Amino acid sequence: MLSTYAPLFPLFALASYFFVALGLFALRARWVGIAVDAEVASRPASKLLGRYLRHYMMWVLGPWERVLVRWRITPNALTLSSFVVACASGICFSFGHFGAGGWFYLLTGILDILDGRIARATGKVTKGGAFYDSVMDRYAELVVFAGLAVFYRGSWGLYVVLLALIGSIMVSYTRARGEALGVEVNIGTMQRPERLFYLGLVSSMAPIVETFLGHGSLPPFVPVIVALGLLGMSANVTAVRRISHTLDRLDGRAQAENARPEVIETPIVPLRSRPQQPHRAAK
């Protein structure tokens, strides 16, 4: 029996680290007060990932952030590391190692958080860095979902993966395209932090459920299928909402411009002064 559960020990160890840290954070919040992160407090609250959990994550990551700043690790290096870890996650998923794949996916999100925070902490925020980060984030999502698609290619789980992939890409694209047109598109529930957190957490814990309960006639790792289905539906709903929101703003702007009265400017012709008669010389 010990050999059956031995592969789960690393998963329990990693989970214990974060659960113990969450308990310590709760005790600190009770006795001293919540460790409020200024950046989290300044941003809109997430419906699926509340401020409490986000303050907790920043509190847990704080020591690592300070170490990276001390070591002068650049934001672009962290962005590239996030993509490399995402590739490792996709490979693990494709071979059915969902515990490792889930934790690697969570680490992808952690590195993605840290690259922006370190850029702001060290004064290295640039438009080029923001562009590089956004592009690599899209690549990271694609390789992770590609790994899931490879694993589920022989079952109907593949269609659930594709639904989640389409929703994830369209959520990001509709925001980027809308903001490029001058529309603020920060609406919806299933944005990238939520996708990373919930899919990574469920995937990392799925082997424990699989070992104890199995999957019956369903595809393997049933919690992941359920998470992908919910992610796919909510992400596509978010994308549709963003499309509607952007169209409403653009149409309203166009109507306002068309309703504006047309002002015909009359060219101003300067008055010419009457030519003066030459003075006659006195006789």
State pLDDT tens for residues 120-157: 989 999 999 999 999 999 999 999 999 999 999 999 99
The token pair at 92 is 């693990």
Contact status, residue 212 vs residue 142, Cβ threshold 8 Å:
no
Among left, alpha and beta (phi > 0; psi -120 to 50; other), residue 270 is beta
Q: For the chain, what's the residue count?
A: 283
Q: Name the stretches of the chain with pLDDT < 70.
A: 1-7, 260-283
Report pTM. Answer: 0.84
Spatial contact of 174 and 194, defined as CB atoms under 8 Å apart: no
Domains in the chain, please, with CATH? 79-257 (1.20.120.1760)
SS (H, E, C) the chain: CHHHHHHHHHHHHHHHHHHHHHHHHHHHHHHCCCCCCHHHHHCCCCCCCCHHHHHHHHHHHHHHHHHHHHCCCCHHHHHHHHHHHHHHHHHHHHCCCHHHHHHHHHHHHHHHHHHHHHHHHCCCCCHHHHHHHHHHHHHHHHHHHHHHHHHCCCCCHHHHHHHHHHHHHHHHHHHHHHHHCCCCCCCCCCCHHHHHHHHHHHHHHHHHHHHHHCCCCCCCCHHHHHHHHHHHHHHHHHHHHHHHHHHHHHHHHHHHHHHCCCCCCCCCCCCCCCCCCCCCCCC
Residue 222, CA distances (Å) to 157, 203, 215, 229, 230 in order: 10, 10, 6, 11, 13
d(CA 9, CA 121): 36
From CA 236, how far away is CA 175, in angstroms rounded? 13
d(C-alpha 85, C-alpha 111), whole Å:
9
CA 61 to chain centre: 17
CA dist 201 and 196 (Å) reads 8
In whole angstroms, give the CA distance from residue 178 to residue 185.
6
As a whole number of angstroms, the distance between CA 83 and CA 87 comes to 6
- The pLDDT score that the predictor gives to residue 282 is 43
Neighbours of 188 (CB within 10 A): 20
- The tokens describing 203, both together, are 């995937």
Give the whole-angstrom CA distance, residue 197 versus residue 110: 9
pLDDT digits (tens, 9 = 90+) for 41-52: 888 777 777 888
User: Do residues 151 and 94 make contact, with C-beta atoms less than 8 angstroms apart?
Assistant: yes
